[in-house]
Amino acid sequence: MTSFGDRLSDSWQRYGHLCVGIDPHNYLLDIWELEHSAAGAREFSLRVLDACVGVAGVIKPQVSFFERFGSAGFSALETLLARASDAEVLVIADAKRGDIGSTMDGYANAWLSPESALSSDALTVAPYLGVASLEGMVEIAEANERGLFVLGVTSNPEAVTIQSARLTDSAESVSAHVIRAVRELARADTSPDAVSSVGVVIGASTDIGAYGLSDADLQGMPILAPGFGAQGASVRDARSRFGKASSTLIVAQSRSILESGRDGVADAVRREANEVAEAFV
């Protein structure tokens, strides 16, 4: 086994920087002519995975759209995770877990332990109970050679008030404080020249400079950037937005691919993978 950062670097070399979101919204199940059920979510997700194999190296299932169907939904998700592992497609479980102490350790063991049916290559986590609350999860992730993506600057408008607020002792924005603290955690788990297994989530349409951040603050960490495609951010702008840090960017796309329907999803994945590849030349 190798670290998540190393596996991610290998995936970029083989398949490029596209990450395909798997979000079985009801309206997407309708487009795909599938039931609003765990069975519908299962068929939807496995068809998307099949379209990614050999084309895109990373998928990001949104856990809530499986969780809403209870135990049957989790069973569908478990099937997806197992099939992705067999196909050597990396999985970032988009669960955004955040808590403290033993509770956070429980989440870590659920999503990052190889013995768990929910075992994933990486997990999204929330830092707003304090970045230090993630230290135990970082240790568990490192021990299991898995990764974490910590919410840094999100693109939803409700987040701006909190994430752009300034600390009284330094005038640093809250999000900049979080990202720099996460970078310290990231440095602890990797050599200076390697890609860390601890990364951050930054919305693709975000102006990082408005939060007091530069590309130097992000270098060496994988950056999960949702919001390309249907949410308005252009893949062509990825390198200019993230500068030198774009070399570790994960270009996450969902609706622009999934709205193509069951008959068009394979072509859509190939199209977006080619567009991402061209943007990173």
239 confidence band (pLDDT: 50, 70, 90)? confident
pLDDT reported for residue 268 = 97
3-state secondary structure the chain: CCCHHHHHHHHHHHHCCEEEEECCCHHHHHHCCCCCCHHHHHHHHHHHHHHHCCCCCEEEEECHHHHCCHHHHHHHHHHHHHHHHHCCCEEEEEEEECCCHHHHHHHHHHHHCCCCCCCCCEEEECCCCCHHHHHHHHHHHHHCCCEEEEEEECCCHHHHHHHCCECCCCCCEHHHHHHHHHHHHHHHCCCCCCCCCEEEEECCCCCHHHHCCCHHHCCCCCEEEECECCCCECHHHHHHHHHHHHHHEEEEECHHHHCCCCCCHHHHHHHHHHHHHHHCC
CA distance 150 to 52: 25
Distance of alpha carbon 164 from the chain centroid: 22
Q: Taking 60 as the threshold, does the pLDDT of residue 190 lie above it?
A: no
pLDDT band at 193 (very low <50, low <70, confident <90, very high): low
Q: What gap in Å lies between CA 91 and CA 85, rounded to an integer?
A: 8
Q: How far apart are CA 135 and CA 171, in angstroms?
A: 25
Are 152 and 175 in contact by the 8 Å Cβ rule? The answer is: yes
∠ CA 132-163-246, nearest 5°, is: 85
CA distance 202 to 198: 13
Q: 115: burial class by Cβ within 10 Å (0-12, 13-18, 19+)?
A: exposed
**Percent of the chain residues past pLDDT 70, beyond the cut:** 96
Of 25, 36, 83, 96, the active-site residue reads 96
User: For 133-159, what is each residue's pLDDT tens digit?
Assistant: 999 999 999 999 999 999 999 988 898
The pLDDT score that the predictor gives to residue 219 is 86
pLDDT tens readout for residues 3-36: 999 999 999 999 999 999 999 999 999 999 999 9
Cα maximum dimension of the chain: 55
Alpha-carbon gap, residue 44 to 76, rounded angstroms: 10
Q: Which of 214, 212, 255, 216 is nearest to 233 (CA)?
A: 255
193-201 average pLDDT score: 91
Catalytic site residue 96? yes
Sequence-ordered list of residues with C-beta below 8 angstroms from that of 266, at least 6 positions apart, any chain: 50, 51
